[in-house]
């Protein structure tokens, strides 16, 4: 009996468990909506923090603390909702959030947290903010190597950790410190101290794993070509080439073959303690700073001619010329003044003509890939200029890109190889002396000669001053013609502008936000940018030179040299203020999105590297949970889902969360379109199902084949294989959440009608596509134009289009949803059709005209005065 009772209880428990497992759909959905809302809030907050990097805002630490706390609150709340939806499947998320939170707290308290400090980094691997780990010389090059179209010889750097390990392995820390103390306390001991320390350092042994790592890294970059590979091995002391110059105080070695890489390492380390270096530190009172020597290894370039460029003559900083000196072979003769060199004065204005030149007799040269002292230059070349005007222009043009990026005049070592390719070997800011004039005075004087073209229009996305000829970009084809140093003017702040952003001296757009993708890229490349001026494309005339003052938000006619110089002397540069650097460090752990592919094996809580990743992960999993439930027909039916029965073979599953479908005979497993009572769903359906929608399909295909391709869901392309490609609509009387993995695309629409127009909204997302990125971007641009036409606020990130409309009357909302319905049909395969940028405008007009003609969509007609020139879609 007891047995039976036990079994019965067991059974009961099981039944209860079973019951517990079944979370009512309405509950699930509320949580899902929460996560969506939180996701939006988090994205807005992250974008807001990003926009503060532009320099136009003054923010304090409190802002940073508050923002991080708010973000963490959002994340925890989403984690709770996700675990509710998935029955605690992702408890690990909490751990990840706590770990990141701890790191950010430490950063906020002023402790730098490096998740990993390796002994060796390739130059291309170096991340923002690592200057103290690898020294400024290597750090500057690592920034430059990531700029498009600029060559930097491949290389790697042994970090401060490698340096410390060397000292530790040889028990040198204390010995060196006691010597340094002597030097600090007593004058005239530098030489003796230097000698003693250098002997100790040179006599040390490189720890075995460091030896191995250096040789491995070198082998990798010379791509197996051991015999012929030569390296430069340079000092990259912490502090050197940054705020302090230390120029020439430490040693660098050129033409180092593979088997001398290790001894060169020791020699560079020892040069940290050169007499001059110690003396300099003593005089500048720098002994409180840790002395550390990261070492930079780079492949040698077969240099035909090399030299030094000052982008601005430090002796004549008010002038508008660069000074370029060069000689045959390696730059050593120029840098170290071993031999005379040619000097060219080159205009800083395009096309960078040579204004003056002094050609010297060049007697000596260092030949690349050869050891030994300088060799005599063959007589025939001694008196020929080492650079053609074209080469000089190329060097100056490139130098000015670096100057704009570092926002300081630059001292650059360069080399042209035997194929005429330009290489940047070193770059450091030139310290200009001289008093900074009041900007007010400069402007007062400037205004006399220069008309104000725009003032206080739009908002500053990145602070600074830039000048150059206006280049108007209408389509991505124009970009290939973009001249370096021009002012980029565009109607939209579209992401495909990114290609030329690093070459622009300033950017001005009619439409755009400081939180948008393009603004982010502009900040990354530090290009002065004003967005949302509304009229720039009409006011600014192509090829006319303008000066963009994105400090005061004024655009002047002509080139105002003084304004440009003014920013060179700005102290402190906003980017080196502690709050700014802190924000930069925080954002590095918050903002980038690394988890992009839900199919990747690292798409797990552990794989998250930033808060953005965590949010993305939770959003994805919440959505997946919902769709999985919708895809199981039994679970789907159990939870009250119905299939839509319609003439159009579109497989759409509908879940009514209340008032979305008219009462009907119980037991039916489908509903028909006329039963839809959800106001927003009804509107979308009207657009989606209207015959005209298929007429405006830009390719002439017959209705049947079109529909069959339309219904074929290919979610695996976009959403991943584990997700069944189900078209799902969750509807209520005033609500719709529609997700359609149609064709190769993924479309999601969410809309709600609230009690007042302010609470009405539509959000639209469109992603995916199989063609190459240019076409996908074109499609994104077309969608953006169409949606902006209907007053949506649109953002594009690559090929993801997100659009939002708020503050709508119910009428407007319904009209807009009809438009969305039509767009869903229209955009299918658009990317395949958009062969050139002119197609964007053509299809734009076609769609508008079609919509107008069919008269279903009033808002377009109301909002746009459109010439009816081409109604035929198949012309």
Least distance CB 549 / other proteins (angstroms):
12
- HSE-up of residue 701 (Cα within 13 Å, Cβ side): 18
- Segments in 90-147 forming alpha helices (H): 92-108, 131-134, 136-145
Does position 58 interact with other proteins (CB under 8 A)? The reply is yes
Q: In the complex, what is the shortest distance from the CB of residue 97 to other proteins, in angstroms, rounded to a whole number?
A: 24
Tell me, by CB under 8 A, how many residues bind other proteins.
25
Picking from 304, 347, 296, the residue whose alpha carbon sits closest to that of residue 327 is: 304
52 vs 408, which CB is nearer to other proteins? 52
Q: How far apart are CA 407 and CA 651, in angstroms?
A: 57
Of 552, 584, 606, 664, which lies in the binding site for other proteins, with binding defined by CB under 8 A?
A: 552
110 sits near other proteins (criterion: CB under 8 A)? no
CB atoms within 10 A of CB 328: 26
Q: Quick count: other Cβ atoms within 10 Å of Cβ 197?
A: 21
Q: Is 523 a binder of other proteins (CB under 8 A)?
A: no
Question: Residues 794 to 833: which contact other proteins by CB under 8 A?
Answer: none
Distant-in-sequence, close-in-space partners of 133: CB < 8 Å, separation ≥ 6: 114, 117, 159, 160, 161, 294
| Window of 30-38, 61-69, 483-491, 718-726 that interacts with other proteins by CB under 8 A | 61-69
C-beta of 59 vs 703, nearer to other proteins: 59
Q: Which of 23, 39, 41, 63 binds other proteins (CB under 8 A)?
A: 63
Least distance to other proteins, CB of residue 536, Å: 18
Minimum CB distance to other proteins smaller for 370 or for 444: 444
Does residue 297 touch other proteins according to CB under 8 A? no
432 touches other proteins (CB under 8 A)? no
State how far the alpha carbon of 400 is from the alpha carbons of 154, 429, 522, 524, in Å. Answer: 22, 12, 17, 17
Q: Should residue 57 be labelled a site residue for other proteins when binding is judged by CB under 8 A?
A: yes
DSSP 8-state assignment for residue 260: G
Dist. CA 412–CA 417, nearest whole Å? 16
Q: Could you tell me the smallest distance in angstroms from the CB atom of residue 61 to other proteins?
A: 6
Decide whether 520 or 763 has the Cβ nearer to other proteins.
520
Listed residue (500, 546, 856, 575) closest to 689, CA to CA: 856
Pick 56 or 734: Cβ nearer other proteins = 56
Burial 756-771 (b: 16+ CB within 10 A, else e): ebeebbbbbebbbbeb
Binding test (CB under 8 A) with other proteins, winner from 28, 36, 47, 56: 56
Q: Are 747 and 828 spatial neighbours (Cβ–Cβ below 8 Å)?
A: no
Q: Which range touches other proteins (CB under 8 A), out of 53-61, 108-116, 270-278, 802-810?
A: 53-61
Decide whether 456 or 868 has the Cβ nearer to other proteins. 456
Quick count: other Cβ atoms within 10 Å of Cβ 654?
26
Rounded least distance, CB 579 to other proteins, Å:
5
DSSP state of 807: S
- Is 421 near other proteins (CB under 8 A)? no
Region binding other proteins by CB under 8 A among candidate stretches 58-66, 503-511, 818-826, 830-838: 58-66
Please, which residue, 60 or 647, has the CB nearer to other proteins? 60
Q: Which is nearer to other proteins, 523 or 642 (CB)?
A: 523
Q: How far is the CB of 591 from other proteins (least distance, A)?
A: 17
CB contact set of 71 (below 8 Å; sequence gap of 6+): 42, 45, 46, 590, 611
* Residues 6 or more apart in contact with residue 181 via CB below 8 angstroms: none
- Minimum CB separation from other proteins for residue 52, in Å? 6
Task: Identify which of residues 8 and 59 has a Cβ nearer to other proteins in the complex.
Answer: 59
Considering only 61, 445, 481, 544, the residue that binds other proteins (CB under 8 A) is: 61
Beta carbon of residue 763, minimum distance to other proteins (angstroms, whole number) = 25
Unique residue bearing structure tokens 């390990």: 165
Q: How far is the CB of 460 from other proteins (least distance, A)?
A: 8
Asked if 381 is part of the footprint of other proteins (rule: CB under 8 A), the reply reads no
CA 665 to mean position of chain CA atoms = 55
> Could you say which of 337, 372, 440, 700 contacts other proteins (CB under 8 A)?
440
Q: 560-599 mask for other proteins (x: CB under 8 A)? A: ----------xxx-x--xxx--------------------
Q: DSSP code of 637?
A: H
Q: Is 62 in the site for other proteins (CB under 8 A)?
A: yes
Q: Cis omega (within 30 of 0) on the bond before 611?
A: no
Task: Work out whether 15 is an interface residue with other proteins (CB under 8 A).
Answer: no
**8, 59, 670, 703: residue in contact with other proteins (rule CB under 8 A):** 59
CB of 60 to other proteins, least distance (A): 4
Kindly state the smallest distance separating residue 65's Cβ from other proteins, in Å: 11
Q: Which residues are CB-neighbours of 419 under 8 A, at least 6 positions away? A: none
Binding residues for other proteins restricted to 765-784, rule: CB under 8 A = none
- Span interacting with other proteins, options 57-65, 378-386, 701-709, 724-732, rule CB under 8 A: 57-65
Nearer to other proteins, 137 or 565 (CB): 565
Q: To the nearest whole angstrom, how small is the minimum distance from the Cβ of residue 57 to other proteins?
A: 5
CA distance 428 to 306: 17
Ramachandran area for residue 260 (φ above 0: left; ψ -120 to 50: alpha; else beta)? alpha
- Distance separating alpha carbons of residues 737 and 741, to the nearest angstrom: 13
- Decide: 739 and 728 in contact? Cβ < 8 Å: yes
Tokens matching residue 429: 């800011």
Question: What is the closest distance, in whole angstroms, from the C-beta atom of residue 154 to other proteins in the complex?
Answer: 39
| Site residues (CB under 8 A) for other proteins, limited to 445-504 | 456, 460
Q: Which of 438, 445, 638, 863 binds other proteins (CB under 8 A)?
A: 438
Residue 273 sits at the vertex; the CA angle it makes with 414 and 249, to the nearest 5 degrees, is: 30
Q: Is 505 in contact with 527 (CB distance < 8 Å)?
A: yes
Task: Report the DSSP pairing between strands 410-417 and 303-310.
Answer: antiparallel
**Distance between CA atoms of 422 and 443, rounded to whole angstroms?**
37
CA angle 754/755/760 to nearest 5° reads 35
Q: Which of 553, 727, 737, 827 binds other proteins (CB under 8 A)?
A: 553
Shortest Å, Cβ 434 to other proteins? 15
Buried b (16+ CB within 10 A) or exposed e, 87-123: eeebeebeebbeebbeebeebbeeeeeeeeeebbbbb
Angle at 552 between CA 538 and CA 460, to 5 degrees: 65
- Taking the complex as a whole, how short is the minimal distance between the CB of residue 718 and other proteins, in angstroms? 38
Residue-wise burial string across 152-162, b where 16 or more C-beta atoms lie within 10 A, e elsewhere:
bbbbbbbbbbb
Residue 382 near residue 355, CB atoms below 8 Å: no
The window from 56-64, 101-109, 187-195, 809-817 that contacts other proteins (CB under 8 A) reads 56-64
Q: How far is the CB of 561 from other proteins (least distance, A)?
A: 17
Nearer Cβ to other proteins (441/721): 441
Residue 745 lies near other proteins (rule: CB under 8 A):
no
**Binding status of residue 13 toward other proteins by CB under 8 A:** no
- Minimum distance from CB of 550 to other proteins (Å)? 11
65: contact with other proteins by CB under 8 A: no
Smallest distance from other proteins to CB 529, Å: 14
Q: Length of the chain, please?
A: 875
Binding site for other proteins (CB under 8 A): 52, 56-63, 438-441, 456, 460, 551-553, 570-572, 574, 577-579
């Amino acid at each position: 009996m007891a047995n039976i009772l036990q079994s019965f209880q067991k059974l009961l428990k099981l039944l209860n468990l079973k019951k517990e497992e079944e979370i009512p759909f309405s509950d699930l959905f509320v949580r899902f909506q929460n996560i969506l809302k939180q996701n939006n809030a988090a994205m807005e907050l992250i974008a807001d923090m990003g926009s503060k990097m532009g320099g136009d805002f003054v923010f304090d630490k409190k802002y940073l603390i508050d923002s991080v706390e708010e973000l963490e609150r959002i994340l925890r709340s989403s984690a709770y909702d996700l675990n509710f939806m998935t029955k605690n499947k992702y408890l690990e998320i909490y751990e990840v959030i706590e770990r990141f939170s701890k790191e950010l707290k430490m950063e906020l308290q002023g402790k730098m947290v490096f998740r990993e400090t390796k002994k060796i980094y390739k130059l291309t691997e170096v991340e923002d903010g690592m200057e103290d780990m690898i020294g400024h010389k290597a750090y500057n090059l690592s920034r430059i190597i990531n700029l498009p179209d600029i060559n930097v010889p491949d290389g790697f750097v042994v970090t401060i950790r490698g340096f410390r390990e060397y000292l530790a392995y040889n028990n040198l820390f204390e010995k060196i410190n006691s010597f340094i103390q002597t030097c600090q306390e007593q004058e005239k001991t530098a030489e003796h101290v230097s000698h003693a320390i250098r002997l100790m350092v040179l006599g040390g042994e490189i720890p075995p794993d460091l030896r191995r790592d250096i040789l491995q890294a070198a082998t990798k970059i010379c791509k197996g070509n051991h015999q012929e590979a030569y390296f430069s091995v340079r000092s990259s002391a912490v502090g050197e080439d940054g705020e302090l110059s230390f120029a020439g105080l430490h040693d660098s070695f050129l033409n180092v073959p593979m088997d001398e890489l290790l001894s060169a390492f020791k020699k560079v380390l020892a040069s940290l303690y050169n007499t001059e270096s110690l003396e300099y530190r003593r005089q500048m009172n720098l002994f409180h700073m840790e002395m550390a020597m990261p070492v930079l290894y780079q492949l040698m370039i077969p240099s035909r001619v090399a030299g030094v460029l000052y982008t601005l003559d430090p002796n004549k900083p008010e002038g508008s010329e660069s000074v370029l000196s060069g000689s045959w072979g390696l730059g050593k003769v120029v840098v170290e003044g071993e031999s005379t060199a040619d000097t060219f004065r080159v205009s800083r204005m395009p096309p960078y003509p040579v204004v003056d030149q002094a050609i010297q007799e060049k007697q000596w040269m260092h030949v690349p890939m050869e050891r030994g002292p300088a060799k005599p230059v063959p007589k025939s070349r001694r008196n020929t200029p080492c650079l053609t005007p074209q080469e000089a222009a190329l060097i100056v043009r490139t130098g000015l890109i670096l100057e704009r990026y570092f926002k300081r005049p630059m001292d650059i070592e360069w080399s042209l190889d035997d194929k005429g390719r330009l290489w940047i070997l070193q770059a450091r800011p030139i310290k200009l002396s001289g008093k900074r004039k009041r900007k007010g005075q400069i402007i007062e004087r400037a205004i006399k000669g220069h008309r104000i073209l725009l003032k206080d229009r739009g908002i500053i996305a990145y602070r600074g001053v830039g000048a150059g000829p206006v280049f108007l970009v209408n389509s991505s084809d124009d970009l290939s013609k973009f001249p370096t140093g021009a002012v980029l003017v565009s109607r939209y702040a579209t992401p495909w502008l990114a290609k030329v952003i690093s070459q622009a001296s300033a950017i001005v757009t009619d439409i755009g936000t400081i939180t948008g993708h393009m603004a982010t890229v502009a900040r990354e490349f530090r290009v002065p940018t004003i967005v949302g001026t509304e009229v720039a494309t009409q006011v600014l005339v192509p090829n006319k030179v303008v000066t963009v003052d994105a400090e005061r938000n004024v655009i002047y006619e002509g080139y105002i040299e003084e304004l440009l110089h003014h920013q060179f002397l700005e102290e402190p540069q906003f980017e080196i203020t502690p709050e700014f650097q802190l924000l930069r460090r925080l954002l590095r752990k918050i903002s980038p999105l690394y988890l992009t592919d839900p199919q990747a094996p690292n798409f797990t809580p552990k794989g998250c590297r930033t808060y953005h990743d965590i949010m993305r992960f939770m959003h994805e999993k919440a959505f997946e949970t919902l769709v999985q439930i919708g895809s199981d027909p039994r679970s789907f039916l159990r939870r009250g889902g119905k299939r839509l029965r319609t003439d159009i073979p579109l497989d759409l599953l509908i879940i009514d969360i209340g008032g979305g479908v008219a009462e009907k005979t119980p037991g039916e497993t489908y509903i028909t379109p006329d039963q839809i009572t959800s106001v927003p769903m009804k509107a979308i359906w009207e657009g989606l199902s209207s015959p005209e929608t298929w007429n405006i399909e830009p390719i002439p295909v017959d209705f049947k084949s079109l529909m069959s391709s339309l219904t074929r869901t290919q979610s695996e392309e976009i959403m991943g294989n584990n997700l069944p490609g189900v078209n799902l609509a969750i509807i209520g009387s005033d609500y719709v959440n529609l997700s359609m993995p149609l064709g190769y695309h993924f479309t999601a629409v969410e809309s709600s009608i609230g009690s007042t127009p302010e609470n009405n909204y539509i959000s639209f997302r469109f992603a995916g596509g199989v063609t190459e990125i240019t076409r996908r971007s074109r499609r994104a641009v077309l969608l953006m134009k169409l949606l902006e036409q209907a007053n949506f606020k649109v953002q594009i990130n690559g090929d993801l289009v997100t659009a939002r409309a708020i503050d709508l009357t119910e009428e407007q909302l319904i009209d807009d949803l009809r438009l969305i319905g039509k767009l869903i049909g229209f955009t299918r395969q658009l990317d395949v059709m958009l062969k050139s940028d002119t197609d964007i405008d053509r299809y734009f007009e076609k769609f508008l005209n079609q919509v107008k003609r069919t008269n279903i969509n009033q808002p377009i007609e109301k909002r746009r005065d459109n010439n009816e020139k081409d109604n035929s879609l198949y012309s």
